Amino acid sequence: MKDIIKSNEYIIGVDVGGTKILSIIVNYKYEIISRYRKKTKGWSNSSKPEKRIIETIEESIEAAGNPKICGIGIGAPGPVDPKNGIIINTPNVGWENFHVVDILSKHFSVPVVLDNDVNLGTYAEWILGGNENTKHVIGVFPGTGIGGGLIINRKIIHGASGGAGEIGHMTLQIDGPLCGCGKRGCLEALASRIAIAKEIMALILRGESPYLSDKIGTDISKLRSGVIADAIENGEKKVEDIVRRAAYLTGVAIANLINVLSPELIILGGGLVEALGKIYLEEIQKAVKEHAMPFLRKKVQIVKGKLGDDAVALGATLLYVQKIKKNKEEI
């Protein structure tokens, strides 16, 4: 990168998610020199969804002392059209056909690039997380949804529609519970944070989780990954069982991906893994042993990502470098 980006040039990486928007600025060594975050809440109904993104970016530029910005990379949830720079739709946020690249490149007068957030998170963990020696990598990010990023032969798989990697909507239980996508039995309906919260709320209503009853009452919106981890830490076995089951089912989906794609590395990230990493690693290892074929799984490493909350935004800066500076059509 040293030869490609000058030492006085900086790149902005933006992670626009369902709950937060994060803008970081990196230098030519991918060191983060400023970081600014805003809640997404409230802006989904705005007629100008770009307003809040622009504000967040501007705050991060100011926090960095107004350096020279050479470009912006954006990671967004749901299906995106990277070629045309359009967020196709994000059911949880409410955008549809949002021409984010056009708008931001006009506003900031620099090149802007876009890809799916999980693709970029996986890409960053691959390149900046010390895994670049591998060729076939799958990133799995369980949270409110469960996203997947696929790197095959050192390239992100976008597929014909541009939106490949929807591992959260892999059917694991025909006629299973209803998913946000309208189907039944998707991995997300069985194992996302919402699926976990649903089960834990039933525990609370039945008086089977005194710790959580005390901490959050019956307000499901307060049931964050950290609180769940605290409950388990405090010996709530039934809460642990629910998390273990979700992690195991995530592992079954990962085993299916191993059977189909034969990766050498699985990188886990996202809020649930950050807070409950040990349980996730244990249960996923177990599920992979039970559901992936021996010759396909024997050399697969399963690890926790290293970049935490910055993964997507860092991946967006990498995307900018690959596409604009190295002129690669795809990463």
Site residues for a copy of itself, window 233-252 (CB under 8 A)?
A: 249, 252
Question: Which residue stretch of 58-66, 156-164, 192-200, 312-320 sits at the interface with a copy of itself (rule: CB under 8 A)?
Answer: 156-164
Q: What is the H or E stretch that residue 232 is in?
A: helix 225-233
Distances, alpha carbon 214 to alpha carbons 204, 206, 232, 240, in Å: 10, 14, 14, 17
For 190-329, where are the E strands, in sequence order? 265-268, 301-304
Q: What is the H or E stretch that residue 73 is in?
A: strand 68-76
Asked if 63 and 55 count as a contact pair (C-beta separation under 8 A), the reply is: no
Is residue 91 a contact residue for a copy of itself (CB under 8 A)? no
Site residues for a copy of itself, window 261-280 (CB under 8 A)?
A: 261-264
Nearer of residues 143 and 165 to a copy of itself, judged by Cβ: 165
Coil, helix or strand at residue 88: strand
Asked if 164 and 170 count as a contact pair (C-beta separation under 8 A), the reply is: no
Site residues for a copy of itself, window 71-90 (CB under 8 A)?
A: 79, 88-89
Is residue 290 a contact residue for a copy of itself (CB under 8 A)? yes
Question: Which residue stretch of 46-54, 93-101, 258-266, 303-311 sits at the interface with a copy of itself (rule: CB under 8 A)?
Answer: 258-266
Instruction: Give the phi and the psi of residue 16 in degrees, each rounded to 5.
Output: -100, 110
DSSP secondary structure, 9-60, as one string: EEEEEEEE-SSEEEEEEE-TT--EEEEEEEE-TT-TT-S-THHHHHHHHHHH
Q: How many residues bind a copy of itself (CB under 8 A)?
A: 49
Rounded least distance, CB 262 to a copy of itself, Å: 2
294-303 exposure pattern, b = at least 16 Cβ within 10 A, e = fewer: eebbeebebe
Site residues for a copy of itself, window 114-143 (CB under 8 A)?
A: 134-136
Is residue 150 a contact residue for a copy of itself (CB under 8 A)? yes
Rounded least distance, CB 227 to a copy of itself, Å: 28
- Please identify which residue in 109, 153, 221, 327 interacts with a copy of itself, judged by CB under 8 A: 153
Is residue 295 a contact residue for a copy of itself (CB under 8 A)? yes
β pairing state of 32-39 and 80-81: unpaired
Site residues for a copy of itself, window 173-202 (CB under 8 A)?
A: 173-174, 181, 183
Phi-psi region of 89 (alpha: psi -120 to 50; beta: other; left: phi over 0): beta
Cα–Cα distance between 165 and 146 in angstroms, integer?
Answer: 10
Cα–Cα distance between 102 and 147 in angstroms, integer?
Answer: 26
- Please identify which residue in 166, 236, 283, 309 interacts with a copy of itself, judged by CB under 8 A: 166
Residue whose entry in the numeric block shows the structure tokens 């991906």: 257
- Please identify which residue in 44, 171, 234, 285 interacts with a copy of itself, judged by CB under 8 A: 171
- Please identify which residue in 133, 160, 206, 207 interacts with a copy of itself, judged by CB under 8 A: 160
Residues recorded for the chain: 331
Rounded least distance, CB 331 to a copy of itself, Å: 13
Residues forming a β-bridge with 80: 87
Is residue 161 a contact residue for a copy of itself (CB under 8 A)? yes
Tell me the per-residue interface mask from 215 to 234 with a copy of itself, x by CB under 8 A, - otherwise. Answer: --------------------
- Please identify which residue in 250, 256, 317, 322 interacts with a copy of itself, judged by CB under 8 A: 256
Is residue 281 a contact residue for a copy of itself (CB under 8 A)? no
Which spans of this chain sit near a copy of itself (rule: CB under 8 A)?
79, 88-89, 134-136, 148, 150, 152-153, 155, 157-167, 169-174, 181, 183, 249, 252, 255-257, 259-264, 290-291, 293, 295-296, 298-300
